[in-house]
Structure 1
Amino acid sequence: MAALKLSRWLRIGLLSVLTSSPGWTLELNGQSFFTQPPWRVEFTNYDWYVDAGGPEYNFTVALAENAGVHLGGLVITQTSGSDQTFWIDPKETSAFFGRPRQEGEAIPVEAQFHEQKRSMRVDFPDPPPPGSTLTVVLRPPNNPSLNDLYLFAVEALPAGPNPSAAPLGFARMEILDGWDR
Structure 2
Amino acid sequence: MRPRVLLRAAIASITLINGYLLPPSSAIQLQDGTVYFAQPPRLVNTITTYNEVYAWGATYYFTISLPENAGEPLQSLAINQREGVDNIRFDLNDSVAFEGKPSGKGQKVELQNVVGDGKTRTVTLRFDPPVSPGKTITIALKPWQNPRSTGVYLFGVTAFPQGEKSHGQFLGYGRLQFYNHSDSWFRPRGFYGIWP
- Aligned with 1:53 (options 42, 56, 60): 56
Indicate if the aligned counterparts of 2:41 and 2:64 stay in contact, CA closer than 8 A.
yes
Where structure 1 has 5 or more consecutive residues not aligned to the other structure, the ranges are 1-5, 20-24
- Aligned with 2:173 (options 151, 165, 170): 170
CA RMSD, Structure 1 to Structure 2 (Å): 2.0
The total of aligned residue pairs comes to 166
SS at match of 2:167: coil
- Structure with max Cα Rg: 2
- Aligned with 1:79 (options 77, 82, 92): 82
CA displacement 1:65-120 (0-9 Å, x = unmatched): 00000001111000111112x31122111100000020111011111010010000
Equivalent residues in 2 for 1:9-88, closer than 5 Å: 15-16=22-23, 19=26, 26-28=28-30, 29-84=32-87, 86-88=88-90
Separation (CA, whole Å) in 2 of partners of 1:99 and 1:17: 28
* Residue in structure 1 matched with residue 99 of structure 2 by the alignment: 97
Over 3 Å counting, the alpha-carbon distance change for 1:39 and 1:18 in structure 2 is closer
* Residue in structure 2 matched with residue 142 of structure 1 by the alignment: 145
Percent identical residues: 34
SS at match of 1:104: coil
CA displacement 1:118-138 (0-9 Å, x = unmatched): 000011021110000000110
- Aligned with 2:119 (options 107, 116, 127): 116
